[in-house]
Amino acid sequence: MVAALLTLAGPVQADVDLTLPHLPVIPRTADEAARIATVTAPATDFTAPEPFEANSAGAATVRARANADAFSLASANMPFERELQFKVGNGLFRKLWVSSPSSTLVSDGLGPLYNSRGCQNCHLKDGRGHPPEGPGDDAVSMFLRVSVPAPDSAAMTQIEAYLNSLDGQIARTVPDPTYGGQLQDFAVQGHVAEYRLAISYEEIEVPLSDGEIAWLRQPTYAAADLGYGPLAPDAMLSPRVAPQMIGLGQLEAIAAADILAQEDPDDADGDGISGRAQIVWSVEHDRPMLGRFGLKAGSPTIREQSASAFASDIGIASPLFPSPWGDCTAAQANCRTAPNGNSGTSENMEIGNEGLDLVTFYSRNLAVPARRDVDDPEVLRGKAVFHDIGCTSCHTPKYVTERLVGQPEQSFQLIWPYTDLLLHDMGSGLADNRPEGRANGKEWRTPPLWGIGLTQTVSGYSHFLHDGRARSLLEAVLWHGGEAQAQRDAVVALPSADRAALIRFLESL
C-alpha cells in the first residue's frame, strides 16, 4: 500500500502539468489575474488592518468562538442544502470503529493494528494532537513514521521514475520490512501492538535580549516494547503529531501556479530562502500532482490524505487503499489473515466511496475562525515586525483561490493562511533525518498559521511543531533554523516589547 519514498533537489520544470484534475476550475481571465496581483501584493502600511484581513478564509470565515468548538464549524457561506453532508461527514469523522467480525457491519474492520479508533481521536476537536504528557498518557494523537534506505535492486515506482526524469537526484527509501511505513501502538484482541512510544526531554536555555530567557525542550524518541522483533538496523523514525483541520478546502483551492511561482530552490534572489514544491504521485488520478497536505506535503488532495489516514492510522480499507489489513506487512502474517470488515457492504470496502466523499466534504469545510483584535496597536506592531524580519518569505500571507464550479465555499475567495505550502530546510534542530517524497531529512512544509492563536481554547494546551515539542509560540519560533535561522536570530535580538508584539500578532491569527 505504501509507495517507495524519495528525496530530490532542484526546481519543477515549467512545462510540468500540476493543475487540479479533481476540482472544477474555471480559468482566470487576464483581468482577474491583474486584480488578484493587486489584492495579494505585500502589505506596506501597518498603521491599520488591510481590507478584509479579519476574514481569514474569505466568505467561509466563521465568527471566532471562545470555547472548544472554535474549529468544528462549517463554512459560513455553505448553502443550506449542503449542511446535511457536513453533519453526516462529521458523524463519520467522529465514529469509533470496531474490530471484525461484528454485528455492526458498517463500523467494523478496525486494525488489526492501529493508532486510533477514529479520526477525531487524533485531531482532537478538529485541532492539534499532542505528545504524551507523562506515564499512562495513551498519546493516540502521536505516532512514529518509519522507513529504510531502498536497496539498489529495488525497482523504481512511478513517482521515483517521474522525478528522476526531472533532475535525477533521488535518495530512495522504502517501508521497514517488518513494521511497514508507520508504527501502530494499539492492536485488536488476539494481536500484539507494534510498539510503545517513549519520549524523554532535555531542557535547553536560550538567552534573549533585554535579559529575558526562554527554555526549549529537546526530545529524544524511541520505539520501546517492539512486538515483532527489532526494527531494521538502518530504520529512520519520524515523530508526528496530528495537525489542525481547519481551512483545508481553501488550501486545496490555491492555484498550483501561485504555489510554484514562489519556488526558489537555488536561492536566486539571495534572501537565504530556498522553497521547493513537493511532488507526489496521485493514487486516485494516476499522475504527478503538487503535494499540499501532511507535515511534509505528502498528499495531493484532501480525499487521498483522508484515505491514507484511514488505512495507516485506523486500518480501514477504502477504494484508494483497499488492503483490509492497513499497514501490516507480509512479515506480519497473522495480521494479514485476520477477519476484516470488507464484507457486508455493496463495495466490499470498510469505508466506500460515499463514506470517503462525506469525510472529504467535512474536512474540506471545517471553517477558519475570524481574526481577533486586527486593529489593536500591539497586533499591528507585531504584524510589522513579522514582515520586517522576513517571516513572510515562507509564511505567505494571502491568496485568491481558484474559481470553482459547485464549490461555493472555496470558490474565488481572498484568504490569509500564512503559508507558501513549499518545503524548506528548517535546520538540524528540527530534522527528523527521514526523506519523504521530495522532502529531505531537514525539510518540512510551511504550516498555515491561521487559527494558531486559538490552540489553547480548542485543545486546552499549546503544543506546536511537527512533534509538539514547543509549548508556546515563542518556543516554536526559537526552534527555527536552516533557511529560517536569520529570522530566528532576529527574534532573539528584538527589543522585548517588539518580541511580545510579534507573539501578540501570532495569537491574533
Residue 104 lies in a domain: yes
C-alpha triplet 69, 457, 207: angle, nearest 5°? 155
Q: Is 67 exposed, middle or buried (0-12, 13-18, 19+ CB in 10 A)?
A: exposed
Length of the chain: 509
Helix, strand or coil, per DSSP, at residue 487: helix
Give the other-Cβ count within 10 Å of 112's Cβ. 29
pLDDT at 103: 86
* CA 438 – CA 274 distance, rounded (Å): 13
Q: How many domains are contained in the chain?
A: 1
Per-residue model confidence (pLDDT) at position 342: 87
Distance CA 274, CA 109 (A): 44
Whether residue 210 contacts residue 262, with contact meaning beta carbons closer than 8 Å, is answered with: no
Would you give the DSSP letter of residue 203? E
Cα separation of 430 and 239, whole Å?
Answer: 11
Q: What are the CA-CA distances from residue 102 to residues 97, 98, 99, 105, 370 (Å)? A: 10, 7, 7, 6, 43
Question: Whole-angstrom Cα distance, residue 307 to residue 320?
Answer: 6
Q: For every residue of 86-136, which 3-state class applies, written as one string? A: HHHHHHHHHCCCECCCCCCCCCECCCCEECCCCHHHHCHHHCCCCCCCCCC
Which amino acid, residue 269? D
Question: What per-residue confidence (pLDDT) applies to 134?
Answer: 62
The C-alpha cell of 135 is what? 506515564
Please tell me the predicted confidence (pLDDT) of residue 323. Answer: 95
Identify the helix (H) or strand (E) that includes residue 307. Answer: helix 302-309
Around Cβ 460, how many Cβ atoms within 10 Å? 12
Write down the pLDDT at residue 8.
42
Tally of CA atoms within 13 A in the half-sphere of 64 that contains its CB: 22
Q: CA angle, 438 as apex, 25 and 412 as ends, to 5°?
A: 20
Per-residue pLDDT tens listing for the chain (509 residues): 333 344 444 555 545 678 888 999 999 999 999 999 999 999 999 999 999 999 999 999 999 999 999 999 999 999 999 999 999 999 999 999 999 999 888 899 999 999 999 999 999 999 998 888 765 565 458 999 999 998 887 888 888 787 777 766 667 899 999 999 999 999 999 999 999 999 999 999 999 999 999 999 999 999 999 999 999 999 999 999 999 999 999 999 999 999 999 999 888 888 899 999 999 999 999 999 999 999 999 999 999 999 999 999 999 999 999 999 999 999 999 999 999 998 767 788 999 999 999 999 999 999 999 999 999 999 999 999 999 999 999 999 999 999 999 999 999 999 999 999 999 999 999 999 999 988 999 999 999 999 999 999 999 989 999 999 999 999 999 999 999 999 999 999 999 999 999 999 999 99
- Within the chain, how many helices (H) and strands (E) appear? 14, 16
**pLDDT in the model for residue 23:** 93
> What are φ and ψ of residue 308, in 5° steps?
-65, -40
Residue 279 in domain = yes
Does 4 fall in a domain? no
Phi/psi of residue 415, nearest 5 degrees: -125, 160
Domain membership of residue 292 (yes or no) is yes
The owner of cell 485488536 is 188
> What local confidence, expressed as pLDDT, does residue 9 receive?
45
Decide if 11 is inside a domain.
no
Cross-strand partners of 216 = 204
Tell me what pLDDT residue 265 has.
Answer: 87
Q: Please confirm whether the linkage preceding 207 is cis (ω < 30° from 0).
A: no
In a domain, residue 268? The reply is yes
* Nearest-angstrom CA–CA distance, 387 and 399: 16
Residue 210 lies inside a defined structural domain of this protein:
yes
Q: Name 397's Cβ contacts closer than 8 Å, sequence gap at least 6.
A: 42, 43, 416, 418
In the structure grid, which three cell numbers stand for residue 186, read together? 494499539
- The predicted model scores a pTM of 0.95
**Neighbour count for residue 48 (Cβ, 10 Å):** 10
Instruction: Provide the pairing of β-strand 142-149 with 173-174.
Output: antiparallel
- Tell whether 20 is covered by a domain: no
The boundaries of the domain holding residue 229 are: 25-508
Q: Residue 357: how many CA atoms within 13 Å on its side-chain side?
A: 6
Q: Is 507 helix (H, G, I), strand (E, B) or coil?
A: helix
